[in-house]
Structure 1
Amino acid sequence: MSNSLLHHTVSGAGPALVFLHGFCESQEVWTDFVTPLANQFKIITLDLPGHGRSPIPDDFTMEAQARQVHQTLQALHVEKCLLVGHSMGGYVSLAFAEKYPHLLRGLCLFHSSALPDTPEKKENRDKTADFVRKHGVDKFMETFVAPLFAAGNREANQAAIEKMQAIGKATPPETIVGCLQAMRDRADRTEVLKNAAYPVLFLAGKEDPAVPLEAALQQCHLPENCLTYFLGQVGHMGMFERTAPTRQALLKFAELLPS
């Protein structure tokens, strides 16, 4: 299963923008966000291994997931791209950037981080895995999704929260546990940012509970060529919480990239 292609959707034409979703998500989180971008770019959204309609892999490590992304992009004849990774998708993007830097026109860490888990976060990953084993995926998703949105945005984003809960509940428990362990054990990839020969964009929510503002501030100076967009009153889900300004920031960045 590890060598199979990832489920994907392609739309538009032009320079390639590749979108990787986060933990317990699928490519469906990008559907509305990317539609206007297809007027200028070739948009590729992927279901990461074990998520959405992609098969469950033998190996959930960020490196293994990056290899499957690479295999899929090769099959699609993508020579270079702007890689956009949300949350865990950003961790996979950094593993991809470490292995295949020559394939990148740019990198966007969309509410994500090159820093490894802190000891406290590692412990929380283990506790979450235990909870899923004992109580199941549905019970976990009931409390996982809403706090990813800034408190002031939850009522207006109820439809998005319900959509994400439904996507999450369809995620196999072995995928959830495997990804929690892989995120817990992932490497520090700040050197990838320091060595980046391509521009990097950070999209950071000022109220993000998963990737705190301090983490973005620790990293945004590392790449030689970097733009950082701080989103006020936004948690971890800028594609829903502030769709238009988030999309516009990404679009402007994409337009600046060398061909």
Structure 2
Amino acid sequence: MSPPLPLVLLHGALESSRALAPLATALGTSAAVLPLDLQGHGGQPVPEVLRPRAMADAVLKELDRRGIERTCMFGYSLGGYVALLLAQTHPDRVAGVFAHATKIAWTPEVASREARGLNPERILEKAPAFAAALEQAHAPQDWRRLTERVAELLSALGEHPEVTDALLSALTVPVQLSVGDQDRLVSFEETVTAYRALARGRLLVMPGVPHPFGPGVQARLAPEIHAFLKATEAAN
């Protein structure tokens, strides 16, 4: 019998791999769990331009560095977006993707609204505790620079989304999408539309769950991820 596939965990924008520690703990020994920091996050150098496809390429390079040939992927929010792109470009390396609270339906209006909330000076003034958390998560890099790059990334997605219905329909690996019914960023409707575009899709709606991916939500989602891993391994 083949050993179980490792599970890569990808966090959301402006977070780090440490934000997914509760999920890694909740999964226990059900998988060899590998939380990774997305490009520019978690203390890594912040590039001049931050784009999801470049982030996917950086994840692939890290898998190469660690000698990991094939893996399943879990991604929260932006992490799910990156995982879907990687599954599209390298289906030989990605056995399956579980994407939670991943926004697909980007428009200029939505992107502008979200990017407005990422002004570093406004964060310092209105949410100093959040600013302190960002500083800690991304030291020794300048969290302000990262925040500005993420805002630019969102604006770019508003104009030119990278995960489209065409990309989703072309995916050959199993994909599970999940969303909370209290999520104010990712709608139930857009998640269902994305699910219907998938050839090998699954859909999960979590009652009472907002967009933030706190420890309680991570613990609730862990059994669902475990079941997805088992099904994906059986299919491979």
With normalisation by structure 1, the TM-score equals: 0.78
Unaligned runs of 5+ in 2: none
User: Structure 1 residue 28 and structure 2 residue 18: aligned?
Assistant: yes
With over 3 angstroms needed to count, the CA separation of the structure-2 counterparts of 1:111 and 1:207, relative to structure 1, is same
Partner of 2:182: 207
Q: How does 1:101-250 map to 2 (within 5 A)?
A: 101-115=91-105, 117-129=106-118, 131-132=119-120, 134-135=121-122, 137-139=123-125, 141=127, 166-170=132-136, 171=138, 172-186=143-157, 187-189=161-163, 190-250=165-225
With over 3 angstroms needed to count, the CA separation of the structure-2 counterparts of 1:114 and 1:98, relative to structure 1, is farther
Whole-Å Cα distance in 2 between the matches of residues 205 and 111 of structure 1? 7
Q: Moved runs in structure 1, 4+ residues, more than 2 A?
A: 125-129, 137-142, 164-171, 237-245
Q: Secondary structure at the match of 1:221?
A: helix
Q: Percent identity?
A: 21
Unaligned runs of 5+ in 1: 1-12, 143-161
Whole-Å Cα distance in 2 between the matches of residues 101 and 51 of structure 1? 25
Deviation at 1:81, TM superposition (A): 1.1
The residue type equivalent to 2:116 in the other structure is K
User: Aligned pairs, how many?
Assistant: 223
Partner of 2:64: 74
Deviation at 1:188, TM superposition (A): 4.0
Whole-Å Cα distance in 2 between the matches of residues 242 and 69 of structure 1? 25
With over 3 angstroms needed to count, the CA separation of the structure-2 counterparts of 1:241 and 1:32, relative to structure 1, is closer
Deviations 1:146-201 (A, max 9, x none): xxxxxxxxxxxxxxxx7x77543434111111112112213242222211111101
C-alpha contact (below 8 Å) 2:30/2:226 kept by paired residues:
no
With normalisation by structure 2, the TM-score equals: 0.85
The root-mean-square deviation of aligned C-alpha atoms, in Å, is 2.2
